[in-house]
Amino acid sequence: MSLIDEARAVREHAYAPYSRFKVGAALRADSGAVYRGCNVENAAYPEGTCAEAGAIAAMIAAGDLRIAEVAVIADSPVPVSPCGGCRQKLAEFAAADVPVTLATTDGATLRTTVGDLLPGAFNTDQMSRV
């Protein structure tokens, strides 16, 4: 099953009763394992969880720490990019050149990289003093 197919399958489990905008994400870790996540909304609207964050949490819970590839899918007229917070989360666990495929349920795709999604990402280099 392709990474987009994994994201498409988990999207069906999204809990989106408020926005009705279901998103699925799948990532492949450096180990080769695939982790999936879907958005989970909450009546206290800002307390929901994005699909990308769910996939990252599953990866970390399983003991993997590095992302090798990402796929995100939504029912949208154009491919949907991760939110700003999820871009930063992806950058925490993926190199800038890690491929990202953004897709629609109708089959449109956009290929990019983690670095292109978040140029100038904040990282540990900015936290250390020389």
Half-sphere exposure of 55 (CA within 13 A, CB side): 37
Q: Is 34 flagged in the annotation as binding?
A: no
Q: Which of 46, 44, 41 is nearest to 13 (CA)?
A: 41
Q: Is 40 flagged in the annotation as binding?
A: yes
DSSP element (H, E) containing 35: strand 34-38
Q: Are 84 and 70 in contact (CB under 8 A)?
A: no
Q: Is 50 flagged in the annotation as binding?
A: yes
Q: Is 39 flagged in the annotation as binding?
A: yes
Q: Is 83 flagged in the annotation as binding?
A: yes
Q: Is 38 flagged in the annotation as binding?
A: no
Q: Is 86 flagged in the annotation as binding?
A: yes
92 is catalytic: no
Catalytic position from the list 12, 47, 52, 69: 52
Cα separation, 55 vs 70, whole angstroms: 10
Cα separation, 3 vs 105, whole angstroms: 14
Binding residues for substrate: 39-45
Binding residues for Zn(2+): 50, 83, 86
Write out the catalytic residue numbers: 52
Binding residues: 39-45, 50, 83, 86
